[in-house]
Structure 1
Amino acid sequence: MNLPNLLTGVRFVLIPIYLSVFFEGYVKLAFVVLLIAGITDVLDGYLARKRKQITEIGSMLDPLADKCMMLAVMASLLISEMIPWSAAIAMLIRDAGMIAGSAFFHFRGKKTVPANTMGKLTTVLYYIAIWLIVFEVPYAITYLWFVITFSFLTSFIYIFKFKTLNRGQGAQEAEERKEHISRY
């Protein structure tokens, strides 16, 4: 356990706090809780890189904390009818797919793609969309759809990078199995 991983853990704790505050009717205060989660996200990444404390568990939990928080936010906005079902479903498909895909390939020993500029930009754009929705800015939902479309684009880029990063790994594993079998 190090400070960056502790900050990631704080983000998991902030999820039920956000939901409690939101459903008590303090929507703008809930947005402040979300901003605190965002600050811990930036801070833990910065500290992990600066202190060279990047861990495998941190690399897994950090994006999971982000996705879980975002899913909680979108669920709360959906339940309160601040966003349409279609937007929530699109976001759920994208985020659940990214979580399931990352976990599946991680546990199969595949290399994962670290957070990149496009992913971070997507997160910032989602925060702006949530701010626009919470403060009832006109065209907030139109902007949300722009961000959802952009998030799918970043997912396709991530998949391409994942395939490139792991290209040849399957052939290498097959060769190692073949060599292992030939010894016996």
Structure 2
Amino acid sequence: MNLPNLITIGRFFFIPLFILTFFSYQSNLFAFLILLAAGISDILDGYLARKNGQVTDIGKLLDPLADKLMMITVILAFVMDDRISWWAAGVFFFRDIGMILISAFYHFNGKRQVPTSNIFGKATTVFFYVAFLMIMFELPYHSEMLWSTILFSLFTSCIYFFIFRRLNTPMKRASQ
């Protein structure tokens, strides 16, 4: 077990901590700081893994899972606190749960995976964190930011699908 994987595993502990802080203390600031710490640890584990040549198969599986579970938790907390609509949450859940299930299915069937640490994945994550900040502190246009981010995430999912298909489609040999 290397340090980046330990950091990734540690990110799973931010999930119950976020829930406890968000609902028990009703503290937007502390809840957001926990969310921010999870985001920073996400950046840190990926950076360390690439820098030190410690990218592992388990890390490739756990890293996006930790990220998706944290995002799902935050969205669910916002719905339960009436900060966002069920419609927004439903579209978000459909996309993220679908990506988790499809990735797991193809991973366990030996298919090549699309790296999520590309510019589209990073931009989507940054946009979600901005939307979460805006929702958490009820800033103007937070709903518009969330929907824009959800639509962008659907667009990036389409890009991932086409890249995945290209990676896993055997090349046809030219006729001789």
TM class, shorter-length: over 0.9
What is the RMSD of the two structures over their aligned residues, measured on CA atoms?
1.1
- Structure 2 length as normaliser, TM-score? 0.94
Where is the helix percentage greater, Structure 1 or Structure 2?
A: 1
Larger radius of gyration: 1
Instruction: Give, as a single letter, the amino acid of the residue that structure 2 aligns with 1:7.
Output: I
Residue aligning to 1:76: 77
CA distance in 2, matches of 1:61, 1:106: 12
CA distance in 2, matches of 1:164, 1:27: 43
Residue aligning to 1:130: 132
User: Any idea what SS the aligned residue of 2:12 has?
Assistant: helix
Residue aligning to 2:166: 164
Matches within 5 A, 1:15-54: 15-24=15-24, 25-54=26-55
The offset of 1:69, in angstroms, is 0.2
The offset of 1:27, in angstroms, is 2.4
Any conservation in 1 of the 2:28–2:137 contact (CA below 8 Å)?
Answer: no
Matched length:
170
| Offset from partner CA, 1:47-67 (integer Å, 9 cap, x none) | 000000000000000000000
Q: Does 1:2 align with 2:7?
A: no
CA distance in 1, matches of 2:10, 2:29: 20
CA distance in 1, matches of 2:11, 2:18: 10
CA distance in 2, matches of 1:111, 1:18: 33
Show structure 2 runs of 5+ residues with no match: none
- Structure 1 length as normaliser, TM-score? 0.90
| Offset from partner CA, 1:3-39 (integer Å, 9 cap, x none) | 1001101110110001110011122211110000000
Identity %: 51
